[in-house]
Chain A
Amino acid sequence: MAGSILGNRVLRKEDPKFLTTGGVYVDDLNNEPLLVGALHATFVRSTVAHANILSIDISEALESPGVVAVYTAEDLGLEPVAATFNPTAKRTLLATGKVRYVGEPVAVVLTQLANQGEDAAEKVIIDYDMLDVLVDIEQAMTSTTLIYEECGSNVVFDSTALGMPDNTGDAMFADCEVVVKGRFVNQRVAPCPLEVRGSAAAWDKDGRLIQWLSTQHAQGARDAIQKSNGIELDQLRVITPDVGGGFGAKIGAYPEEMLLGVIAKKAGKPVRWTETRSESMTALGHGRAQIQYVTIGGTKAGKVTAYQMHVLQDSGAWVDIGAILAPFMTRPMASGVYDIPKIEIRTTSVATNTTPVVAYRGAGRPEATAAVERAMDMFAAEIGKDPAEVRRMNLIPKFLEPHSTAIGQTYDVGDYEESLNRVLAASDYTKLRAEQAARRASGSVKQLGIGVSVYVEITAGNSPGESAKIEITQDGRAVVYTGTSPHGQGHVTSWAMIASDTTGIPMDKIDVVWGDTDLVPKGGGTMGSRSLQQGGVAVHVAAGELVEQARKHAARLLEANEEDVIFDKAAAAFHVAGTPAVAKSWADLSIALAQDGGLVQETDYVSQGATFPFGAHVSVVEVDTETGQVKMLRHVACDDAGKVLNPLLLEGQIHGGIAQGAAQALLEEVRYDTDGNPITSNLADYAFISAAELPSFEVIHMETPTPRNPLGAKGIGESGTIGSTPAVQSAVVDALAHLGVRHIDMPTTPQRVWEEIRKHTAKGNS
């Protein structure tokens, strides 16, 4: 489109604030009148993983400096609530009867000052009767110790119970010339948003609960908070200040957040709460946490004909969204970009005495991709062929009409081979293989590893659409109300670009409002890479409808026929054809309509279905064969997210995604000891990646627009994570392939790598 701002590298409107005065997060709400005199909540958390609660003694804590009150579930009258995804499982929002993981909230302490809380919380004495602890998924599956007795099993969700077919076992591979099996651990990781969870709750003079919350989805949180407070929807307003990252873990409302209003009501004062990093590492949900039993089979020539997987999903100590990602996200995407005629996937979600598992960047799809990509590599190694070549042989050919896979998922558009071609060319794959061969021949201590992944993922799945409202103010500004909820993505910039592109109103005269349920009562939040293709499209549609509405008003004011009125986008004004001097600006129209409700357009955009971004990554690592140290040298990524709105924001998402994916492949893992004690509950012990461990990324563009929305856009928020993780992991394995190494579980720590080297070298390396 000539003259369109869309597709340009527009700098973020948000950044001047963030780079100068800084964001205003929940904990920064110091000038909020409703929070004057607020008490500070500190949650008393279980220090044991599985135990019956015999007694809770709060008497000493009540004497601690600054303590105003200490409440248990009993004090707050909490009743058991059922898990959304398995209503048999019930818990109270503060533990009663038993605790199920270290970090579970048991009581709450209210203090005058924030820093008095932890001292007081330590003085709440909980007498526990210890129970057997289940940390390992496979042990939990068969154990007679039950985490939720009422469920009768620790298996809390199984794909077969949903009517999805069970796997048929090895019989499926009877006609395969080559069959390879693997057991892959897609380890538990911590989302680690830089802003930890926080909230503040106040009851106003009209008896309405106003709650500020660091969330990805204010409207969803509102519904949960409404229930926990036992109030009507109109008695509640949830407000989202700036949010310092979520990565999926801030989609749902947590017990602390659902209780804050209840606590404030009981205390008769507003209450503020910000968790510490150590708390966040155990009480904010975790991600991934799957064990995958994979079998892949095909011909010696390299055609894969059958793929089977049983996913064991660690649900943690609750049946949260993490329990259903395996059947609804991993399973349908399991065969990825490959044309595999026979595929069977079963998923089994299991409760353990660990932090509940929630959505985390990619949420089920990175796990699917990691499994099939590792399987492809192992299959290629088994038949002695190049992993890129075997992939090429099995890719679904380019399609521009919907394509259905054997598992029953229908993709929109795809050209997987082209994305593979582009990364192979950009990385100079042939030359990399030659250098690898030379290093192997010379016996160099620094071996080169090249990892290839090709992926397709699903974005905006199970999301019906999004609404948008655009209001023109009397000074000609546009205010865009969106149901999405930016927390780093740049929607203020993106939605202003989209609105400006259609209305001609300059970007600096466009404001974006989100996350306040009074101002935006409807909304699906930001998750699942849905925002641009639904929220952005809703703004686009609303802007178009706004222009048409305005044209009618302009015609009336100009005393002309509607079809004679021209919208001059460059001038952001309407005039009758041939007389541009007599024009009505947006401000003119808004003023004229002031008595009639103003100039407002509201649109409910109904989704035409999920979209399927795809791409290919090549990662190059160097492995020190004496120490097992892995160093990333290069990472080349081609991510096709359809039509690109703003390449700058796109690259930001890809860069962050690659970093997070590489972090899982190389470094990060939430670990527990056998008693269920977390041993990675701070950022010294949990190996959160930093820039120093990463190379400069090479991003290759490719655009295959989706026909499923008028912007042609698919999601990009999670793609980088999905493509990078297996590429990096496979690169590490590939560096040692000549020794016979076929797989190393993530994270590929130096010790793990060294152990594999030692296992595969006759005389060892020391």
Chain B
Amino acid sequence: MIPAQFDLKRASSAAEAIALIGEYGDEAKLLAGGHSLIPLMKLRLAQPAMLIDIGRISDLSYIKDAGDHIAIGALTRHMDVEKSSIVLQHVPLLAHATSHVGDAQVRHRGTIGGSLAHADSASDLPATTLALGATYVVQGPHGQREIAATDFYKGFLESALAPDEMLVEIRVPKTTGGWSFQKFNRRAQDWAIVGVAAWRNGNASGVALVNMGSTPILATSVSAALASGASIAEASELAAAEAEPQSDSNASSEYRTHLAKVLVRRALEESTR
């Protein structure tokens, strides 16, 4: 409950933060809102020797209408995303899913970039941005590059971010049509045992699963089935086709698979209404 000893440096710009990670290498972790990293440090599951505090880099907190997509600065707090009129208008699924992250206190501190870069498959936003076909902009010592959400998640708490890169912007395509976010948990503030983020517009759809494997899972078989005319009931039977659900103290792999099917069906029904 008390983290191991660490040092802290505060970065005032993305460039400075990246320079500092370059300097400290593996010893360093970026600290944004602190709502993923600090709990791990308190449990001593993470023991970084150096924290680089990026929480005060104010020019990375924004939400912009960028034409065909919404651009969100990586250090935008969850509460700002949840309440943003731009997000509510153009990507309501993201606003709604964000409202399910932790509790109000967490959402006032935690950031969208922090949540995505932490790459926890049990978190709501990695799967949601995956379903939405988002692109992440990351910055390193040699400039910026874009990584599609589909290419970002590599394993349990592992992403395509290089050790000297940081996430700076999230680009989420505007959606039209129906959407749904299903979060199945035991208590209001818990991580999802299984969650589903889905949108549908005619034959097009995006469905992603929370906590159904070591990474967030894009349920491509479901979307493919829908595109080729399958019913919702038929398509949702394929919910776990891409998943590799784990067993843990909350749910067995078998139960998770069952839940995914039920929740995908419900999500698609709601999206199609």
- A contact set with B: CB distance below 8 Å: 65, 114-115, 117-119, 122, 276-279, 626-627, 629, 667, 671, 679-680, 682, 684-685, 687-690, 692-693, 749-751, 754-755, 765-766
Assembled-state Cα–Cα distance A765/B190 (Å): 25
Assembled-state Cα–Cα distance A690/B185 (Å): 13
Assembled-state Cα–Cα distance A692/B103 (Å): 11
Cβ-neighbour of A751 out of B190, B251, B262 (below 8 A): B251
Q: Which residues of B contact A680 (CB under 8 A)?
A: 249
Cβ of B189 and Cβ of A690 under 8 Å apart? yes
Cβ of A667 and Cβ of B187 under 8 Å apart? yes
For chain B, residues 235 to 273, give those with C-beta under 8 angstroms from any C-beta of chain A.
249-252, 255, 258-259, 261-263
Q: Which residues of A contact B252 (CB under 8 A)?
A: 751
Assembled-state Cα–Cα distance A684/B38 (Å): 14
Q: Which residues of A contact B255 (CB under 8 A)?
A: 750-751, 754-755
Give the top 3 A-B pairs by smallest Cβ distance, nearest first: A276-B1, A692-B188, A118-B2
Closest to A671 in B: B249
Q: Nearest chain B CB to A408's CB is how many angstroms away?
A: 41
Q: Which residues of A contact B251 (CB under 8 A)?
A: 750-751
Cβ of B189 and Cβ of A766 under 8 Å apart? no
Assembled-state Cα–Cα distance A627/B258 (Å): 8
Q: Nearest chain A CB to B67's CB is how many angstroms away?
A: 39
Assembled-state Cα–Cα distance A614/B190 (Å): 35
Q: Is B46 an interface residue (CB 8 A)?
A: no
Assembled-state Cα–Cα distance A328/B219 (Å): 57
Closest to B252 in A: A751
Q: Nearest chain B CB to A192's CB is how many angstroms away?
A: 14
List 29 A–B pairs whose Cβ atoms lie within 8 Å, in order of A's numbering: A114-B2, A119-B2, A119-B5, A276-B1, A277-B1, A278-B1, A278-B43, A626-B262, A627-B262, A667-B186, A667-B187, A680-B249, A682-B43, A684-B39, A684-B190, A685-B249, A687-B186, A690-B189, A692-B187, A693-B187, A749-B186, A749-B250, A750-B184, A750-B186, A750-B255, A754-B255, A765-B258, A766-B258, A766-B261
Closest to A114 in B: B2
Cβ of B258 and Cβ of A119 under 8 Å apart? no
Q: Which residues of A contact B190 (CB under 8 A)?
A: 684, 687
Assembled-state Cα–Cα distance A688/B186 (Å): 10
Additional A-B contacts beyond A278-B1, A749-B186, A750-B255 (15; CB < 8 A): A65-B5, A117-B2, A122-B44, A278-B43, A279-B1, A682-B43, A684-B39, A692-B189, A693-B187, A750-B186, A751-B250, A751-B252, A754-B258, A765-B258, A766-B262
Assembled-state Cα–Cα distance A642/B5 (Å): 55
Closest to A276 in B: B1
Encoded as 1 (CB less than 8 Å from any A CB) or 0, chain B from 42 to 80 comes to 011000000000000000000000000000000000000
Q: Count residues of chain B with CB under 8 A from any CB of chain A.
A: 25
Q: Is B4 an interface residue (CB 8 A)?
A: yes
Cβ-neighbour of B188 out of A114, A277, A690, A754 (below 8 A): A690
Q: Nearest chain A CB to B7's CB is how many angstroms away?
A: 13
Q: Is B193 an interface residue (CB 8 A)?
A: yes
Assembled-state Cα–Cα distance A749/B193 (Å): 12
Most A Cβ at <10 Å: residue of B39, B249, B261: B249
For chain B, residues 180 to 212, give those with C-beta under 8 angstroms from any C-beta of chain A.
184, 186-191, 193
Q: Which residues of B contact A755 (CB under 8 A)?
A: 255
Assembled-state Cα–Cα distance A118/B188 (Å): 31
Cβ of A276 and Cβ of B2 under 8 Å apart? yes
Cβ of B262 and Cβ of A115 under 8 Å apart? no
Cβ of A693 and Cβ of B188 under 8 Å apart? yes
Q: Which residues of A contact B249 (CB under 8 A)?
A: 671, 679-680, 685
Closest to A277 in B: B1
Assembled-state Cα–Cα distance A666/B1 (Å): 27
Assembled-state Cα–Cα distance A117/B2 (Å): 9
Q: Which residues of B contact A119 (CB under 8 A)?
A: 2, 4-5
Encoded as 1 (CB less than 8 Å from any A CB) or 0, chain B from 145 to 186 comes to 000000000000000000000000000000000000000101
Q: Which residues of A contact B2 (CB under 8 A)?
A: 114-115, 117-119, 276
Closest to B186 in A: A687
Closest to A121 in B: B2
Q: Nearest chain A CB to B272's CB is how many angstroms away?
A: 18
Assembled-state Cα–Cα distance A679/B250 (Å): 11
Q: Nearest chain B CB to A661's CB is how many angstroms away?
A: 16
Q: Nearest chain A CB to B233's CB is how many angstroms away?
A: 11
Cβ of A750 and Cβ of B188 under 8 Å apart? no
Cβ of A629 and Cβ of B184 under 8 Å apart? yes
Cβ of B193 and Cβ of A750 under 8 Å apart? yes
Closest to A117 in B: B2
Q: Which residues of B contact A754 (CB under 8 A)?
A: 255, 258
Cβ-neighbour of B184 out of A117, A277, A627, A685 (below 8 A): A627
Most B Cβ at <10 Å: residue of A115, A276, A627, A754: A627
Assembled-state Cα–Cα distance A122/B1 (Å): 13
Q: Which residues of A contact B258 (CB under 8 A)?
A: 754, 765-766
Assembled-state Cα–Cα distance A749/B184 (Å): 12
Q: Which residues of B contact A114 (CB under 8 A)?
A: 2
Q: Nearest chain B CB to A481's CB is how many angstroms away?
A: 37
Assembled-state Cα–Cα distance A689/B259 (Å): 22
Q: Which residues of B contact A671 (CB under 8 A)?
A: 249
Closest to A692 in B: B188
Assembled-state Cα–Cα distance A277/B2 (Å): 10
Most B Cβ at <10 Å: residue of A687, A689, A692, A751: A751
Assembled-state Cα–Cα distance A757/B2 (Å): 43
Assembled-state Cα–Cα distance A727/B208 (Å): 38
Q: Which residues of A contact B262 (CB under 8 A)?
A: 626-627, 766
Assembled-state Cα–Cα distance A114/B251 (Å): 38
Closest to B255 in A: A751
Assembled-state Cα–Cα distance A626/B182 (Å): 14
Cβ of A690 and Cβ of B184 under 8 Å apart? no
Q: Nearest chain B CB to A667's CB is how many angstroms away?
A: 6
Cβ of A627 and Cβ of B259 under 8 Å apart? yes
Q: Nearest chain A CB to B160's CB is how many angstroms away?
A: 27
Closest to A666 in B: B186
Q: Which residues of B contact A689 (CB under 8 A)?
A: 187
Assembled-state Cα–Cα distance A122/B249 (Å): 27
Assembled-state Cα–Cα distance A629/B185 (Å): 9
Q: Which residues of B contact A766 (CB under 8 A)?
A: 258, 261-262
Closest to B188 in A: A692
Assembled-state Cα–Cα distance A65/B5 (Å): 10
Assembled-state Cα–Cα distance A626/B249 (Å): 20
Q: Which residues of A contact B43 (CB under 8 A)?
A: 278, 682
Q: Nearest chain B CB to A759's CB is how many angstroms away?
A: 13
Closest to B193 in A: A750
Assembled-state Cα–Cα distance A117/B3 (Å): 11
Assembled-state Cα–Cα distance A687/B262 (Å): 24
Q: Which residues of A contact B188 (CB under 8 A)?
A: 690, 692-693
Q: Which residues of A contact B187 (CB under 8 A)?
A: 667, 687-690, 692-693
Assembled-state Cα–Cα distance A169/B5 (Å): 60
For chain B, residues 107 to 150, give those with C-beta under 8 angstroms from any C-beta of chain A.
none
Closest to B266 in A: A626
Q: Nearest chain A CB to B124's CB is how many angstroms away?
A: 15
Q: Which residues of A contact B263 (CB under 8 A)?
A: 627
Q: Nearest chain B CB to A80's CB is how many angstroms away?
A: 31
Q: Nearest chain A CB to B234's CB is how many angstroms away?
A: 13
Q: Nearest chain B CB to A119's CB is how many angstroms away?
A: 6
Q: Which residues of B contact A65 (CB under 8 A)?
A: 5
